[in-house]
Amino acid sequence: MDSEVVKKAEKVLSNNEYLKEFAALNKMSTEAAKALLERLMREPIVSEQVEKFVFSDEGSPELKGYYSGEEKGYSRGHEAGFAKGAALGVLGTLAVVVVAGVTIALKFRE
């Protein structure tokens, strides 16, 4: 995931039109958008300082809940997606085996 963030940031920074669009969508100046993307390229993951602040007494309960929800939501979404893909793969393989078995059985029956 981290390399994906860096690639997307590089893509936006390489094109002024993308940078202007990114800045407009996030309601910031192009200079601020450029600085943010450059920072994301250097540090694509959340630093320990941010986590300490979020879970300190200074962090609001809403911020703590949001941050925790983001982390858990991503983790659960990834796990659910993997499980669903594995289950569909197994079911697809079983369906092919059953169809092949029925076809072979009908050919030998004739």
DSSP notation for 55-102: TSTTS-HHHHHHHHHHHHHHHHHHHHHHHHHHHHHHHHHHHHHHHHHH
At 31 the pLDDT is 92
The per-residue pLDDT string of the chain (110 residues; one tens digit each, 9 = 90 and over) reads: 567 878 888 898 899 999 999 889 889 899 998 998 888 888 767 667 777 877 788 777 777 777 777 666 655 555 667 677 777 788 888 888 888 888 888 888 76
At 85 the pLDDT is 78
Please, are residues 23 and 12 in contact by the beta-carbon 8 Å criterion?
A: no
Tell how far CA 18 is from the center of its chain: 21
pTM attached to this predicted model: 0.44
Cβ neighbours around 53 below 10 Å, total: 13
Q: What's the rounded Cα separation, in Å, for the pair 48 and 43?
A: 11
